[in-house]
Structure 1
Amino acid sequence: MEKPNFPRPELSVIICTYNRADLLDKTLVSLLSLHELHRAEIIVVDNRSSDHTAEVVRRFIAAHGEFVNATYHFEAEQGLSAARNAGIRLAAADIIAFLDDDAIPAPSWIRTIISAFGRNPDMSAMGGPIAPIFESERPAWLTGPLELPYTIVNLGTEEREYPRSLNPFGANMAMRRQALEENLFPLHLGRKGNLLLSGEESWVFQQIRGKGGLVKYHPDMAVDHFVPAARLTKEWIMNRYYCQGMSHAVQCTSLKERVMLMGKTAAKLLYITVSSLKARSEGSKMLIRCRLESIRGTMDTIRNRKSQSAAG
């Protein structure tokens, strides 16, 4: 069936997906409840899925394509950054939003994003609250700082600028096209298949803020985000921190950056050692273990680089 001739969208919504067809199906169906969906286009980027992802998207387009401006794109280069960049190149709107393939946006999500950018011409990017949908019982240790790796975010009920130590998460973020075209996601960072590398979003926001861009939080730009039982284990979160440590090392390409990273890592180890003496709760003890895993990931990556350099 030939695609209808939709007007130019005000918002491009990019959903990158990898082997989560059934969750993606729920996310796509949830879009039908969004207010002012006609103002947006939906771009699903399939990052080499081997399940029935393509069938799910094509079935959705066949059922709703007359009224929903939706596009399917297969991205052969493995990696979340590559998938996001492919979506950016396909996007037609001046505002680009990213939604996870397992996230359910609030009905006012589209309207909130378009309105906020319209009222804030100096704003480069925005994000909002992300509430968890746990597949199984929430572990007792999942508290405080450990919420962030699970993208659990709530900065309150008022619009505000993001603190410098925090950025919007990929499950729920939007940027002006110009900011993204100047700073595409780095291909050496971000998830690749089942490898939990990260840091690509932080890198982009670092570039945006370095050029004076304003990054804001809006309480009505809200999504619910699925957390599978497989991730609610100590093994998963420790591996997540290990990969985060790897990401820190991968980002350091010059000798100066590596020396600075070593200094920060040494200071972090001292802080963790002192903190461990005061850790009493299950959550605080788990956080100590995770932070040590992050350091191990950093050091292993640095050692592997040295071995590769020595080998020629």
Structure 2
Amino acid sequence: MVSALEHVERLVGLRYLFSRLFPAKISLDFSIAIPTYNGGQRLGTVLDCLQWQLNATDLGWEVIVVDNNSTDDTADVIQQYQRTWSLQAPLRYGFEAKQGAGYARQKAIQMAASPLVGFLDDDTLPGMTWLASAYQFAQKHPQAGVIASRIRGSFETDPPKNFERIAALLALTERGSEPLMYIPSQKVIPPSAGMVVQRQAWLDSVPPELVLTGRTSTSMLTGEDTESILHIQRAGWQIWYNPHMRLQHQIPSTRLTPQSLQNLCRGIGLSRYRTRMLSVASWRRPPMLLLYMANDIRKILVHCLRHRQDVIYDDVAACELTLYTASLISPFFMAQRSIQQRLQKSSQ
């Protein structure tokens, strides 16, 4: 006599088998997507963590690595892991030639064979129950279009003094030990690292071509994750924080240099006109633009008066000033960028 548990295990095993043979045809419970650019030296650690996920044996899941036009050995690393991959969950490889995390995430959504897609960066390490916690939370909150992780930093070198003031800009997220929902009126959006999305919510809400497409080798303009989440939130889906989805963000010393932090803050600031106005009705945008600019000017003046010479000699204070200044000029930067893009398209 075959027990009910053995019957379920056989069915799950068959689904795993068919998902390996026909990954695009079989509906699974969960897809883990890892967009990466030149992540050959980092991917192995992330994939090793995924092989130690607990409480996930009854789930049908897959891992998709999206190579965002890498120039290193990323493809070779994935091929090596595929040859020795011990999990029943298939490890798949996708290639996206258009540079930018926004394009890579779109590729992952297209490839995913499940209704839930969890995004991991190639420098974020999931805890051993990350997958199970994400899936269970999604089942309890079917209106959650996006579920954000609890992300702590693992630093190669000590961060600068007062780093906690800008920690959120490096995707570090600590909002307590209880789940909470992001309220649209509060204008706060979680980072994309470790977020789980309803695939259908993304397909219905996020346009194929985002205005912000993410950092590239020639640009630090960011905000594509915020833009994607805002589209989903505007469509009526809930955005949640799940403290049981734990990640460690590996932050090398190169990410903590004054120049790197300044570039990051500048890129975030320059994208803010788009992310601010996306949740504002068209007719309200002119007066809201003036209010935002007035508030940015206020922040700059208050910051300079409060910190004085620290805005020159203190790395964090200098980064905050860069963020406020870039936010102020963001409308003009985005207008110039839009004109340049239209000219490029007309000349092609």
Same fold (TM over 0.5): yes
What is the aligned-residue identity percentage? Answer: 26
Mapping for residues 37-52 of structure 1, pairs under 5 Å: 39-52=60-73
1:285 to 302, 306, 317: 317
Opposite residue 291 of structure 1, the aligned amino acid is L
**CA deviations over 1:182-209 (Å, ceiling 9, x no partner):** 1236433132422222222222222222
**Where in structure 1 are there 5+ consecutive unaligned residues?**
none
1:248 CA drift (Å) = 2.7
Corresponding residue number in structure 2 for 1:159: 179
State the secondary structure of the residue aligned to 2:307: coil
Corresponding residue number in structure 1 for 2:200: 178
Corresponding residue number in structure 2 for 1:191: 214
Write the distance in 1 (CA, Å) between the matches of 2:30 and 2:338.
45
Taking only aligned residues, the RMSD between alpha carbons, in angstroms, comes to 2.8
Does structure 2 retain, via aligned residues, the 8 Å contact 1:237–1:290? Answer: no
2:233 to 209, 226, 235: 209
**CA deviations over 1:88-131 (Å, ceiling 9, x no partner):** 00101011110111111011111111111111222222112101
- Is 1:34 the equivalent of 2:53? yes
**CA deviations over 1:244-290 (Å, ceiling 9, x no partner):** 23223456698974674354123211232023322377476335422
Opposite residue 176 of structure 2, the aligned amino acid is G
Farther-moved stretch of structure 1 (199-208 vs 87-96): 199-208
Mapping for residues 1-312 of structure 1, pairs under 5 Å: 4-6=17-19, 8-35=27-54, 36=56, 39-64=60-85, 67-144=88-165, 146-163=166-183, 164-184=186-206, 186-194=209-217, 195-249=219-273, 257=285, 260-279=288-307, 282=314, 285-295=317-327, 298=330, 301=333, 304=336
Opposite residue 279 of structure 1, the aligned amino acid is H
Write the distance in 2 (CA, Å) between the matches of 1:236 and 1:261.
29
Write the distance in 2 (CA, Å) between the matches of 1:10 and 1:135.
35
Write the distance in 2 (CA, Å) between the matches of 1:274 and 1:58.
53
State the secondary structure of the residue aligned to 1:96: strand
Opposite residue 188 of structure 1, the aligned amino acid is V
Report how many residues are paired: 308
Farther-moved stretch of structure 1 (247-256 vs 50-59): 247-256
Write the distance in 1 (CA, Å) between the matches of 2:92 and 2:206.
21
Corresponding residue number in structure 1 for 2:9: none
Farther-moved stretch of structure 1 (42-51 vs 201-210): 201-210
Does structure 1 retain, via aligned residues, the 8 Å contact 2:265–2:320? Answer: no
Write the distance in 2 (CA, Å) between the matches of 1:45 and 1:297.
33
Under a length normalisation based on structure 2, what TM-score does the superposition of the two structures give? 0.79
Runs of 4+ in 1 over 6 A off after TM superposition: 251-256
**CA deviations over 1:34-87 (Å, ceiling 9, x no partner):** 121653110100000000000111111110166231100111111111111011
Write the distance in 1 (CA, Å) between the matches of 2:152 and 2:143.
28
Farther-moved stretch of structure 1 (23-32 vs 60-69): 60-69
1:307 CA drift (Å) = 7.9
Write the distance in 2 (CA, Å) between the matches of 1:255 and 1:239.
33
Farther-moved stretch of structure 1 (259-268 vs 106-115): 259-268
State the secondary structure of the residue aligned to 1:188: coil
Q: 1:298 to 1:32 in 2, by over 3 A?
A: same
Does structure 1 retain, via aligned residues, the 8 Å contact 2:39–2:122? Answer: yes
Write the distance in 2 (CA, Å) between the matches of 1:115 and 1:286.
42
Write the distance in 1 (CA, Å) between the matches of 2:97 and 2:252.
26
State the secondary structure of the residue aligned to 2:31: strand
Opposite residue 179 of structure 2, the aligned amino acid is E
Write the distance in 1 (CA, Å) between the matches of 2:115 and 2:136.
13
1:303 CA drift (Å) = 7.0
Write the distance in 2 (CA, Å) between the matches of 1:288 and 1:114.
37
Write the distance in 1 (CA, Å) between the matches of 2:90 and 2:340.
48
State the secondary structure of the residue aligned to 1:61: helix
Farther-moved stretch of structure 1 (255-264 vs 103-112): 255-264
Q: 1:250 to 1:218 in 2, by over 3 A?
A: closer
Structure of greater Rg: 2
Does structure 1 retain, via aligned residues, the 8 Å contact 2:296–2:324? Answer: no
Farther-moved stretch of structure 1 (275-284 vs 177-186): 275-284
1:217 CA drift (Å) = 1.1
Write the distance in 2 (CA, Å) between the matches of 1:306 and 1:22.
35
State the secondary structure of the residue aligned to 2:44: helix
